[in-house]
Chains A and B, each alone.
Chain A
């Protein structure tokens, strides 16, 4: 009997497979991180990943690109954005703002991975500098957006690779800006003036952002000088506009590059590479978006819209009270949503989230207007160059050549430091309408409450000036307690 048992056990063992090493995992459709970051192609792929984090529906593909629209003094939102129009950050809205926090920190982590692993790669040094420059740029970009919306945020400069790498208090706003400035200073050095592929950050993009950051910080001279570096580089010029539809040469869905593009989030006509942006501004019946939501609209009573000169070609480009339906028939807007915004439109999107309209983060016009504001502030009054830079933007908007004096020009004598700054801010409001600038202008100049009260009759609370720190961050970050939450949440 024993013999039988023994033989059968041997048979069993032989029939089974050796389990030595059999339980190791070797994924075939995923890269294992420790086998990555070996060559220049890996480095490029790694830096592309940072950019992809911005291409999400929670980020620039939809939500973040319109985050400020209903908060601004010329627009309201319907449906989901009703509470935002009422300056209330409700729970569903918080889910969206949590998404910004999440998305920008994903960009930061992806940038930190590049900054940790790419230096060790043996590759062409110029190429390597460029790749690292992009990572610094994106990291600064992410922190800048975080600090503008959330105030003090934890600074992380190492990629997260272990569950034990948690914590990090809210670093002071000044420290966050110091980090941003430091990163941008490296980026402006390491990035080329032109990139082979449109949409990759350039030194001009880093300098413009740096000028913008200085402006926000009130470092007027630095802002002026950095903007001047951008202008002096002669890498950019304003696109000529004679009739309103010429603005399509800047904002059109099929435009790939323009002379005034400094840094854009780029899109193409596909589901993988497209945006929802036009959907938010046009109705479902509209020709100008595929499956529009018609989320945002304005009222003629809003001062910026009410006071907008008809001669300003931007007005008829930006605003419409009637627009084409799918059959091309012009139909008026409803009385409840009388004015819509026409800047971002795309008649050729193959699917709803597949619009090709790029989102402009920095245009050359901004460098000019930063210069104008910063130079005037530094000088405690407008300078001729500051005025000229403002006039360049203004002339172009009125259909004149940007570089030739025109009937639309402002005169230096009419303005002091305060009124000139007002003028620049108003110009920025018109020039960058629905480009996500106005709200931050109101915040940095401390005018938000006053302007909104005047425009919409709503008294806004301090809470809305900063978005809430995500509850998930507070619950799980040992260094942030509920008391550290922004006021009003």
Chain B
């Protein structure tokens, strides 16, 4: 007995968008080895008819060769069949065959009964096994035809999918023989095997990873096959379409749903971290719902955003996808090189992240519940002085400054350890997430409905994050030519925020927590917040941290809708026209109430900010797949899109609250209203786009695209920008000369070049505008109209990034080991940058197209299956990326500085200078202490004084390289996942040290290390670590505050147990997995502060990076959770 399985598939950009499963192409020469021409006029070979159906409907059809061989049918006219199921029913009506839908868009022809098929009289029934894709996973193994030995014993089993659903049509072959069978509709099989040791069964199915299993003495098997996420047959979503992974010409990384939800996070973007080389995710804050900065292959813009463009189900968002739950995402694709991103033109320069949400699949209703509960704890506490040490050091400060001691010896003796403000402010904080989804449908209608709730308390008192999401994805076929699809998402996010980052002198919660004197308790005996700065040396901005966290209320409520309706129309079989209309609407209300207990607002102060953003997108595309002679494939895409965003905001506030209970809910209670303000901005983007994909013999692949973008944001003469790209890929593996290189399972060379842009401008920056300002006459406000501090420039043009990429994809040992290596070079020209103006113009700065930045780098990704046995499986994924940036040119060669640090330094630390990497640290070098205990700086220019001219580049916040490692070991029902993140280099300017490791300059609490190792007047030591304790010791921005930011961190470790539900006979449950995990459990770093994953000045710009200024600490998290499928 033997069998033969074919897979037919259609490939088209638009057609594939409606399919989400993997596809396989079998070249026609392989599929056509059945003699044809024997059919009578009325009847035709079933094989031929199936092929027509496949290309007409764009679906996969699988069949065992012996089943259909010689079977003839009466084909129904295709035009009369509205869908493939109807057509299959018609043609199979008088055979003993029927079809089974095995997954979305894929059908299998199977036997109905034992009744003999209608046979063509002269067709034989010889058995053969065809080589090719039926083996799945790009296998190139050829099975030899050999006589089947006498069966000695019978084995049986069942093959299940990942969700424990039975898999029909799985090819079960005794390895090294032609003996085999396919599983039936219930996934069951029975096979006779020789009764001798050493035999191995091979299970394979298109779209699934093949599995080998030793037969041993077992007679009953339960095999589960995993969908082959990483096969070359995988369909990858690209801009305005999809392509098979094997046909990709550009550099594209994918992150799966599993990876995105592998550890608790509220932000889907977090899931990108460490999964794809070339993508750096920087955590700007450890606060719940805190923002992230993402850099794809380095930052290229000074003025504009460096964040990638996020496209959700085809809708280009104007910001990061913070309202989307990671649970709702099927996959994320990161488009990195210009060949992939140029189709997004003026928004592609920073890379594009395509997010595909989960959609319904035809078939049984699937219900799944994902739930977890986690406890977060602060990862690290700092060793600060206790009350006695604090008072002692304060007295030393007084003595050094010639004042009487602040504290008597008796007072100091009574202080004891005092208050540990870190213990007061940090807490164990719970986090929970529950996601429920229901999906299913028929061939005509598919739906997915999902709800999700996440609640997270912050590890600092008073902070939390909650979000509830609802989503509906609906797809409906209208007749046989039109498909409507509708995606809609609602999200409601509530946050309690704290002022934490970038504080100084105790004006934010983190700053106050570390600075507050340990000599004072948080509250007095009556439960009132204690006054926290009673001493003459107390920092004047200091607030009671507990009052700042608990009594000061800052909350935000965001309501978000993303809704997209698309219709695709296929007037003829190769042409698909798609038109979509989408809206993104977000409404944000921010409330702040600062009560009278906060010293800066002694009468209470309330503000309400309201902002609304309405983003509209219309896209119209046409895709045509040409019918060309054999070996040629050509697909053309053309489109016109229009997008506009209108954002409006207003702000109201009041002070003077005689009654504080209503906080900001009724600001009319405040007797002193602030001047209300409002803004209104709109931008428009009108675009034409076109792309051609050409393939010759599937080996030589060419992609060329162009997009023309017209943006309202530029001056009249420069509204339009043009962004072309071209790429070439060579699938060497399919060349005949590599036919014998059996160890090699994939080899592809890719090269591309293209131009992308960055709008980089806010609306109206080319117009000369005036805005309202206030002055006072007669005790009344008077309004004036004043120019901004930025002088507008009507001649601004597009910033453009030229990127070249060369890469190679290699697969070894049937893709058990595969790696991808890329080298890129990006040159950004006409850099839009805010450049300083001479202040005597009356303006601070202007925007110009001033310069050039180069980024180049190497990315390497390795996937390996180290062990792959029935019981034990070990996968390893390693990636490495290195980016080097260099500023090539700046206007007039003048320096550009980043954001200024807070007090006491009050200067910018990041510098953009020609021939240097972006945003290097710029400051003084220290040279020990002088005889009076003051810091001595190196006089670099030797002029005898320390001046600005002695500043130099002191370190570099850009990492040398990033590396990540993830490993998955599964043994029977247990799976252990580990995910390690690494960064080498990437220095941090630890601005916290300017307060906490200073000379008690502002009277702040200090590190215990300062107490122990400072310069002392009675035993002057010029090598002391810290200078003289004094209000007069001055600090400059120097290498003292720069630390190595390298780290290697166990980001996630998870142990999961998959309950064998079918073995246990639990009918209502299809699969169940329970897990425990821990995040940030281990971190190897020399960094002295809370966490090396910090970037408090971070945001969309790349100018101010690598600064830790009172950052919200990162949590260690312990999680328990379950994935259930019903």
Contact = CB atoms under 8 A, between A and B. Distances in A.
B199 to A, nearest CB: 54
B838 A476 contact: yes
A354 B603 CA distance: 11
Counting contact residues on chain A (CB < 8 A from B), the size range is 35 or more
Interface string A150-164: 000110100111010
A273 B672 contact: no
A316 interface: no
Interface string A1-22: 1001101110111011101001
B605 to A, nearest CB: 6
A470 B837 CA distance: 11
Interface string B1027-1039: 0000110101000
A457 interface: no
Contacts of B870: none
Contacts of A267: 776
B906 A163 contact: no
A199 interface: yes
A334 B533 CA distance: 13
Contact of A291 (B536, B602, B775, B785): B602
B784 A472 contact: no
B842 interface: yes
Contacts of B843: 106, 109, 160
Contact of A17 (B602, B642, B673): B642
Contacts of B577: 8, 11-12
Interface in B664-699: 670-675, 678-682, 684, 686
A34 B787 CA distance: 12
A27 B764 contact: yes
Contacts of A225: none
Nearest to A26: B682
A45 interface: yes
Interface in B632-668: 638-642, 648, 653, 655-656
A266 B838 contact: no
Contacts of B680: 27-29
Contact of A13 (B534, B640, B775, B779): B640
Given A8-B577, A268-B776, A273-B774, A350 B837 contact: no
Contacts of A295: 540
Contact of A36 (B621, B622, B624, B770): B770
Nearest to B837: A476
B12 to A, nearest CB: 15
Contact of A163 (B533, B572, B791): B791
A15 B579 contact: yes
A33 B837 contact: no
Given A52-B774, A52-B775, A351-B603, A46 B793 contact: no
B971 interface: no
Contacts of A51: 775, 777, 782, 784
B878 to A, nearest CB: 45
Contact of A27 (B602, B767, B842): B767
A472 B769 contact: no
B838 A472 contact: yes
Nearest to A27: B764
Interface in A230-271: 256-257, 266-271
B840 A30 contact: no
Most A-side CB within 10 Å, residue of B534, B641, B771, B835: B771
Given A55-B774, A335-B403, A268 B836 contact: no
Contacts of B835: 476
B880 interface: no
Most B-side CB within 10 Å, residue of A9, A82, A154, A292: A82
A23 B848 contact: no
Most B-side CB within 10 Å, residue of A27, A200, A337: A27
A198 B778 CA distance: 5
A350 B757 CA distance: 48
B773 interface: yes
A13 B579 CA distance: 11
A16 B640 contact: yes
Interface in B385-422: 398, 401, 403-404
Contacts of A285: 531, 534
Interface stretch (B897-905, B1018-1026, B1101-1109): B897-905
Given A48-B782, A267-B776, A335-B403, A30 B605 contact: no
B242 to A, nearest CB: 20
A177 to B, nearest CB: 17
Contact of B571 (A4, A54, A79, A106): A4
Interface in B498-536: 531, 533-534, 536
Interface string A383-425: 0000000000000000000000000000000000000000000
Interface in A78-120: 78-80, 82-83, 86, 90-92, 95, 98, 101-102, 105-106, 108-110, 112-113
A460 interface: no
B664 to A, nearest CB: 15
A294 interface: yes
Interface string A62-79: 000000000000000011
B710 interface: yes
Contact of B838 (A79, A108, A110, A473): A473
A270 B839 contact: no
Nearest to A270: B672
A90 B1002 CA distance: 17
B42 interface: no
Contact of A55 (B401, B712, B776): B776
A310 interface: no
Contacts of A270: 672-675, 781
Contacts of A23: 684, 686, 710-712, 719
Interface in A318-358: 326, 334-337, 350-352, 354, 356
A475 B459 CA distance: 46
B841 interface: yes
A471 interface: yes
Given A30-B769, A49-B784, A256 B779 contact: yes
Given A30-B764, A34-B768, A45-B785, A78 B1031 contact: yes
A122 interface: no
A176 B1002 CA distance: 41
A256 B531 CA distance: 34
B770 A33 contact: yes
Contacts of B675: 270-272
A344 B680 CA distance: 40
Nearest to A358: B776
A381 to B, nearest CB: 42
Contacts of B784: 45-52, 110
B655 A12 contact: no
Given A9-B638, A19-B710, A106-B789, 4 more contacts: A12-B621, A25-B712, A160-B841, A285-B534
14 contacts: A12-B622, A12-B638, A13-B640, A23-B719, A48-B783, A51-B784, A52-B784, A53-B773, A83-B1034, A95-B900, A112-B842, A267-B776, A295-B540, A476-B837
The 7 closest A-B pairs by CB, nearest first: A109-B842, A48-B784, A49-B784, A197-B777, A477-B838, A350-B655, A49-B786
